[in-house]
Structure formats: C-alpha cells, structure tokens
Amino acid sequence: MNIPIILAAFGTSTRAMAAYDDIDAYYKKTFPGHDIHWAFTSRMVASKLRKKAGREVLHPYQVFDLLSQAGHEWAVLQSLHLTCGHEFYRLVDDAKSGLIRISMGLPLLSSPEDCMEVAGILEPLFQGPKDQAVVLVGHGTDHPAWSMYTAMASVLRKTYGEKAFVGVVEEGIPEQEDVVREVKDKGFKRVLLAPFMLVSGVHFEEDLAGEEDSWKSAFEEQGLQVELHAQGLGRNPKVTSLFSRHTMGALDMVQPS
C-alpha cells in the first residue's frame, strides 16, 4: 500500500529553499515506496513563492483534496516545525477536517530524547575557542511550547557547559537583551551566532545578521566579536534523519483498510 507522505513547513523566501530541496531529496531516498508531497502552512509565504519562484505551492487542505481525488484513504503528515506550537496545532486541525485519514509525524523537538539528539548534532558549533560563546536563536512563540526553548538551553548547557546559550527573535524567552547581558557578564569575548530554525531565511538575514537592530549589532555594541553561522537546521542531514524517524513512527500507526 503506497501511503503518501506530506511534508508540511511554514515556508520561506526563495533564497532559503535549498533546505527544503535537501529534505525532499533525503525523503525520496529514504522512503522510495512512498510519494512525497509538500504543503506550506503560511498562505502569505506560499503566495510569494508562487510569484517569485514559479513553484506549485499548496496549503495542506489542498494536498488532502488532491490525494482524496486520487483514491488515497490514508496519508502521513510530517510536521517540519521545531516545536508543538501554534503552527503544529493548526496543522492538526487541518488534518482533522481533511477528506482522508491522517497519521501525524511529530515536530523535531517532541521529547527529551529529541533534545539530547539535537544537542549532539550541534556539537561542531561548540568546537571553537574557550572565549567564544555559542548563541542559537530560534523563532519563539507565546504558545506553552515556548518551554521547549528553555529545555533545549538546559540540555545544551549540560552538554557543552557555560558557552551554550539559546534565545528567540519574537515571543517568549530568553530575550535578546537578557542573553546579550549574560554572555557579556560571563566574560566571553567572541560569539558564534547561529539560527535555531529549520531554514536560514528572513529572520536570519534581518533579525540575526542585520546591520541595525539585530542580534549581531547588539553583541557588537557590547564590544564582542561576532561570527555568523548561516546554515539552518534543515541543511543538516542528521536533523532530517530525526524527522524521518518521526515519519516512520507515523507510518507504523497507519491502519490498512
């Protein structure tokens, strides 16, 4: 039975689409007996991609409809979000209202084991000099899932010591001001600044690496030397492997007719 796999992401600018291309190639190689489809949860981003890149960009409910019309009764919907926040639960609501039965693949950070595995994947970032802090900056959320950022910070600190920091660009904590102050107070002279996001898109270009009102400029104003790591998590095949194991778990839940 060919169970389609739908990869659902928020969406990104055309410059950061390479991460999705990498994930797509990985899934097609890992799941050769399954058709791979894409859905984007942000209507605004989807509209921009259609105009700029000429890509076929569909919302999840549109993919459900197409698969139903093709005769499918089941599909796996793999969330490519980092946490079980607002976007994930909107995806769950879409799945409940679709015309086919859906088995959900959980986001990247859905268990303590996920956090520990991701911490291990990030080990190369922590190989710099002792006076270099490593600051990972995520999107943030006002959903109760915000606690996953502090959980991840705790795991990283336990794994790599005092040089590990996590912050967010929007809602939630830890905020920029607090992270910058803590890095400064701990005596670090340099910072490796990296996106804790699936793709390195507009948030990285403007909020992290921008010349004004950015994380980079905030550290530089405190006299710290900043090195940028521009690669999002989606470019790392070990991260995609973790997503794929969540997908395998969802496939195991499919009940053939």
* Residue 246 C-beta-side C-alpha neighbours within 13 Å: 25
For residue 170, say whether it is annotated as part of any ligand binding site.
yes
pLDDT band at 13 (very low <50, low <70, confident <90, very high): low
pLDDT of residue 42: 72
* Residue 244 Cα distances to 7, 31, 75, 106, 251, angstroms: 10, 9, 15, 10, 10
Structure token digits, residue 217: 């400029």
pLDDT of residue 55: 61
For residue 34, say whether it is annotated as part of any ligand binding site.
no
- Strand duo 74-79 + 101-105: pairing: parallel
Active site residues: 139
Looking at per-residue pLDDT, the higher value among 198 and 53 belongs to 198
DSSP assignment letter at 106: P
Task: Answer for the pair 27, 5: CB distance below 8 angstroms, yes or no.
Answer: yes
Structure token digits, residue 89: 């639960």
Q: What is the pLDDT of residues 136-158, one digit of tens each?
A: 999 988 888 889 999 999 999 99
In the chain, what is the greatest distance between 2 CA atoms, to the nearest angstrom? 64
pLDDT of residue 57: 81
- Strand duo 132-138 + 164-168: pairing: parallel
| Domains annotated on the chain, with CATH | 5-108+235-252 (3.40.50.1400), 112-232 (3.40.50.1400)
Average pLDDT over the chain reads 91
Q: Mean pLDDT lowest for which of 18-32, 36-50, 75-89, 225-239? A: 36-50
Q: Mean pLDDT lowest for which of 47-61, 212-226, 243-257? A: 47-61
Average pLDDT over residues 33-38: 96
